[in-house]
């Protein structure tokens, strides 16, 4: 296991488990934690042995209770905008565009920047005690780490704005009904469920998943031509070794062994 000040990183059989580790502050995202996370993401992106990344929070109470309010309480407008922009560029967009599946295992409160972090992941699994919300308007703010964009994409504009206006939390079952999370499991089974899902993905081509992520994201970005990106990415798949192996295995009636290239 690797440990930095605010993160634990465990790598096991192709899966990297990244645990945000400031439990006394409910894993609130301060600048130092985000900077460590940015570095870890960069190294996991390049690590060929890592196929899937899991994100979770330390302790039993919180995934992440938001951006660190104490750190930004005295910021002015320019500093606020910089905080948001840097977050997008170094962490949140990086996760959304990560070329391998990223699964958020939401083990408790996921509020503000915490829910925004989970929403930047490709998939969310919640423990049955999880509570999610965007409480920023209760602080005189709006969600600044992508929540105004990703929440409506996931649950629709009306429900998203209701959550933002009310600043209220929803429970795991409601999040499942809304489509905000993919699965809800008992807290003690959360990591097991995330690992099981990761392993089920790893039977398939991670390279192809990278292209799927790129194409899906392109369709959701305003002004971008998602179908064009899909056409190009589809064509690119034909040039990969994984494609050759996947189709060959089908023809030979055997399971594929993807080289991951
Ligand atoms: N920032 C900084 N510290 C936080 C925090 C946050 N977002 N959330 C919790 N903490 C700290 C508390 O200050 C407390 O620290 P101390 O013991 O040093 O006082 C510790 O974590 C434990 O929290 P509580 O005592 O408050 O625990 P609780 O069980 O009574 O309440 C809670 C839990 C309902 C989650 C409550 O902590 C809470 O409301 N937290 C803030 C949630 C929030 O507003 N998040 C949005 C942040 S703004 C944002 O994220 C902006 C953006 O989009 C970029």
* Cα–Cα distance measured from residue 115 to residue 66, given in angstroms and rounded to the nearest whole number: 7
pLDDT of residue 235: 77
State the closest ligand 1 atom to the C-alpha of 62, by its place in the atom list counted from 1.
35
Q: Which of 26, 30, 82 to mutate to test the pocket of ligand 1 (most atoms within 8 A of CB)?
A: 26
**Dihedral (CA of 119, 120, 124, 126) sign:** negative
The closest alpha carbon to 64, from 16, 112, 31, 121, belongs to 112
3-state secondary structure of 243: helix
Ligand 1 lined by 70 (C-beta under 6 Å) = yes
User: Which strands form 109-111's sheet, in the order they lie side by side?
Assistant: 62-64, 109-111, 131-133, 170-171
Distance CA 196, CA 148 (A): 31
Measured in Å, residue 243 CA sits from the centre of ligand 1 at 47
Judge residue 194's burial from the number of C-beta atoms within 10 Å of its C-beta, 0-12 exposed, 13-18 middle, 19 or more buried: buried
Say whether 48 sits in a helix, a strand or coil: coil
DSSP 210-227: HHHHHHHHHHHSTT--HH
Does the CB atom of residue 4 touch ligand 1 within 6 A? no
Whether pTM > 0.85 for this model: the answer is yes
Q: Which one, of 169, 208, 200, lies nearest residue 183 by Cα?
A: 200
- Is any ligand 1 atom within 6 A of the Cβ of residue 144? yes
Angle at the Cα of 96 from the Cα atoms of 92 and 29, rounded to 5 degrees: 25
Determine if ligand 1 sits within 6 Å of the CB of residue 91. no
The tens place of each residue's pLDDT in the chain, 261 residues long, gives 777 899 999 999 999 999 999 999 999 999 999 999 999 999 999 999 999 999 999 999 999 999 999 999 898 998 988 999 999 999 999 999 999 999 999 999 999 999 999 999 999 999 999 999 999 999 998 999 999 999 999 999 999 999 999 999 999 999 999 999 999 999 999 999 999 999 999 999 999 999 999 999 998 876 667 667 777 878 787 888 998 998 898 889 989 999 999
Q: Which residue has the tokens 């699964």?
A: 103
Topology of the domain covering 2-188: 2-enoyl-CoA Hydratase; Chain A, domain 1 (3.90.226)
Distance (Å) from CA 26 to ligand 1 centroid: 7
- For the CA of 26, the nearest atom of ligand 1: 21
Calpha distance 125→54 (Å, rounded)? 10
Q: Is 237 in the pocket of ligand 1 (CB under 6 A)?
A: no
Measured in Å, residue 65 CA sits from the centre of ligand 1 at 5
Distance CA(91)–CA(35), nearest Å, equals: 8
Q: What are the start-end ranges of the E strands in 162-221?
A: 170-171, 183-185
Which residues are part of the catalytic machinery? Answer: 116, 136
For the chain, domain boundaries: 2-188
What is the per-residue pLDDT for 220? 86
């Amino acid at each position: 296991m690797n440990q930095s000040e605010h993160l634990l990183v465990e790598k096991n059989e192709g899966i990297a488990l990244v645990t945000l580790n400031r439990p006394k502050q409910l894993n609130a995202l301060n600048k130092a934690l985000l900077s460590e996370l940015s570095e870890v993401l960069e190294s996991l992106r390049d690590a060929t042995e890592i196929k899937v990344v899991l994100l979770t929070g330390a302790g039993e109470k919180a995934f992440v209770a938001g951006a660190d309010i104490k750190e930004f309480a005295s910021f002015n407008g320019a500093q606020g905008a910089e905080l948001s922009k840097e977050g997008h560029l170094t962490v949140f967009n990086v996760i959304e565009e990560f070329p391998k599946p990223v699964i958020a295992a939401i083990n408790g409160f996921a509020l503000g920047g915490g829910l925004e972090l989970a929403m930047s992941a490709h998939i969310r699994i919640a423990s049955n005690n999880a509570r999610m919300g965007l409480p920023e308007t209760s602080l005189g703010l709006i969600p600044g780490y992508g929540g105004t964009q990703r929440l409506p994409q996931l649950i629709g504009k009306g429900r998203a704005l209701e959550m933002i206006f009310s600043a209220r939390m929803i429970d795991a079952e409601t999040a499942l009904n809304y489509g905000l999370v993919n699965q809800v499991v008992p807290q003690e089974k959360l990591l097991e469920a995330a690992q099981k899902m990761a392993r089920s993905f790893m039977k398939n081509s991670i390279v192809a998943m990278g292209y799927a992520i790129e194409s899906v994201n392109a369709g959701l970005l305003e002004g971008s031509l998602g179908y064009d990106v899909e056409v190009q990415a589809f064509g690119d798949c034909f040039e990969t070794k994984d494609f050759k192996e996947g189709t060959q295995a089908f023809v030979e009636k055997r399971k594929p062994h993807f080289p991951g290239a």
